[in-house]
Chain A
């Protein structure tokens, strides 16, 4: 009887007895993410579930990610299978208006330049010692696109998923702080003051309906490994533009996106177990992620300068910074920066074109990457 009582009481304290400094640090990091999401408003829809997931998984003996654990179930079903990020893409497609891009299609090239940070960061990641597929997963932070980063990381380096996702979402929310100094450093006052005229090109409904179909077919044929990414975002957009499946569109942009965001956030948080997250490589990933997004901005602006030169000064190079996937935040940053230097400058619609190009660009960059990896025999056929 006495020993049973002692064992019972010991059982109550097992959690405390197994609590290590790593758990405490990770619970604090989880709390920090909650603080950033709740108090600072940084990507709260993701950072709140990620932060809470990080806390849950670091409760000693909670076994959230053990075989059969509560979060492990969703992780196996949605992250390991890569289904969750794809479902989020469905919602993003249903929410995105590509009209500005259809009005001014040449701006889509800025969306390509805005992805170059991915590939330069890949070289940096290899240089600091990441192995090939880990380097691919780290570099994809430069897509500045959460679901793309999660999709690629869960495919090639699931052990880095937590760090990659946290870096991607944190830096996306910090775009208004990261981009302006780079934009100012790479442009002259004269360039920043360039006024771009309105592009008011009428776009027919048929064009809007054809766009997602054509993009899916051609881009998927050119980069077949990326067909799930391209297909889901474009299917979402087709539902939005065709106008005959309003219920499905609403489900994609509301119920599906909300439920998947919640579960995906918890799952990502749950990959942040102390023994996996508290490593030197996590700091490296955070550093490389910052470099990736900075490089995206820099190359985008430099490409904007090239387009400015080629068009005889008709394009304000600032809009190049919007060639990333952080939509519409990046376009707003460009608008604010343009207005700082010329009150009569309204760059928003042009920046929105570049930003929509960046959304497609990030998906295409990942698709191209996956297909090249397949072609090189690094990943299976």
Chain B
């Protein structure tokens, strides 16, 4: 069943469950990405590059 004809509770539970899981999943991925970019661009290397420059 898809689209506007979907019954109210199928709609509600689908949106609620995927919404909660999806929000959690996307933010978890973002937390991993933050750790990754922090590792790739650490503060020390930037500071020493500035010093050398």
Q: Is the CB of B2 within 8 A of A135?
A: no
Query: Distance (Å) between the CB of A297 and the closest chain B CB?
Result: 16
Does A122 sit within 8 A of B, measured CB to CB? yes
| Contacting residues, chain A, for B14 (C-beta < 8 A) | 372, 376
Nearest-CB residue, chain A, relative to B21: A368
Q: Is the CB of B26 within 8 A of A364?
A: yes
Q: How many residues of A contact B (CB 8 A)?
A: 49
Q: Is the CB of B16 within 8 A of A123?
A: yes
Q: Is the CB of B23 within 8 A of A112?
A: yes
The SS class assigned to the A binding surface is helix
Does B4 sit within 8 A of A, measured CB to CB? yes
Q: Is the CB of B15 within 8 A of A222?
A: no
| Contacting residues, chain A, for B31 (C-beta < 8 A) | 105-106, 108-109
In angstroms, Cα B4 to Cα A122, docked, is 17
Pair count A-B, CB < 8 A: 134
Q: Is the CB of B37 within 8 A of A108?
A: no
Q: Which chain B residues numbered 1 to 24 have a C-beta less than 8 Å away from chain A? A: 2-4, 6, 8-9, 11-20, 22-24
Q: A119-B15, A132-B11 are in contact. Are A204 and B27 (CB under 8 A)?
A: no
Does A280 sit within 8 A of B, measured CB to CB? no
In angstroms, Cα B20 to Cα A109, docked, is 11
Q: Is the CB of A223 within 8 A of B26?
A: yes
Does A327 sit within 8 A of B, measured CB to CB? no
Does B53 sit within 8 A of A, measured CB to CB? no
Query: Distance (Å) between the CB of A375 and the closest chain B CB?
Result: 8
Query: Distance (Å) between the CB of A226 and the closest chain B CB?
Result: 9
Give which listed residue, A123, A223, A360, contacts B22 with CB less than 8 A. A223
Nearest-CB residue, chain A, relative to B9: A126
| Contacting residues, chain A, for B26 (C-beta < 8 A) | 112, 218-219, 222-223, 364, 367-368
The 3 A-B residue pairs with the shortest CB-CB distance, nearest first, are A202-B43, A377-B3, A206-B41
17 CB-based A-B contacts, threshold 8 Å: A105-B35, A108-B31, A109-B31, A111-B27, A115-B20, A118-B19, A126-B8, A135-B12, A207-B37, A207-B38, A222-B26, A364-B26, A368-B18, A368-B23, A369-B15, A372-B15, A376-B15
Besides the contacts A210-B37, A218-B29, what 14 more A-B pairs have beta carbons closer than 8 Å?
A102-B34, A105-B32, A109-B31, A111-B27, A123-B16, A126-B9, A204-B42, A218-B26, A218-B33, A364-B30, A365-B23, A372-B15, A372-B18, A376-B6
> Footprint of A on B, CB under 8 Å?
2-4, 6, 8-9, 11-20, 22-35, 37-38, 41-46
